[in-house]
Amino acid sequence: MKFCSHCSATLVLRIPEGDTLPRFICSTCHTIHYQNPKMIVGCIPEWKDKILLCRRAIAPKQGKWTVPAGFMENHETLAHAAARETLEEANARVEIGDLYAVYNLPHISQVYLLFQARLLDMDFSPGIESLEVRLFDEHEIPWNDIAFRVIHDPLKRYLEERRQGQISFHMGVIDQAPS
């Protein structure tokens, strides 16, 4: 950040009085501009025993597969964000279920939240951010082409837990992307 969004004056990076972290502070109106982690919200949509995946049409990881997920917007709930992202990326309507996983990615200042979800019908197609949308049986999932570790690992765990009949909530930290 270089300029204040309130008055357009130059910002200075320093620790405000009573704080412990450097913040961008306006040199004129003294507004403190906080920067906080982005929330990525998505779901694992199921139809019977199949999982709906989207092949990405955009960077990063264009051409790779993922579950529908994206940035949460202001004024929406977590469940609404997951359903909206599924509609945007797969033109699919879902019923959002329980929260399945929360992963902190401090190296990129993001928090991922994944829900269980049930497809409401078979009417789905690629949205603007997807090249292809498809239902996969567990043995068909293209594990080597999953876009992100934060999707790969929870999806593998979810399918294992589903086979065992015991799906439970998970929380973790992914410190950095694999090399």
- Whether 106 and 62 map to the same domain: the answer is yes
Tell me whether residue 178 is in a domain.
no
- Whether 22 and 43 map to the same domain: the answer is no
The set of residues, in sequence order, having a beta carbon less than 8 Å from that of 111 and lying 6+ positions away, is 37, 38, 39, 40, 102, 103, 104, 105
Q: Which helix (H) or strand (E) holds 111?
A: strand 110-119
What six digits make up the tokens of 43?
């779901």
Question: What is the chain's pLDDT, residue by residue, as a tens digit (179 residues)?
Answer: 899 999 999 999 999 999 999 999 999 999 999 999 999 999 999 999 999 999 999 999 999 999 999 999 999 999 999 999 999 999 999 999 999 999 999 999 999 999 999 999 999 999 999 999 999 999 999 999 999 999 999 999 999 999 999 999 999 999 875 54
- Whether 110 and 42 map to the same domain: the answer is yes
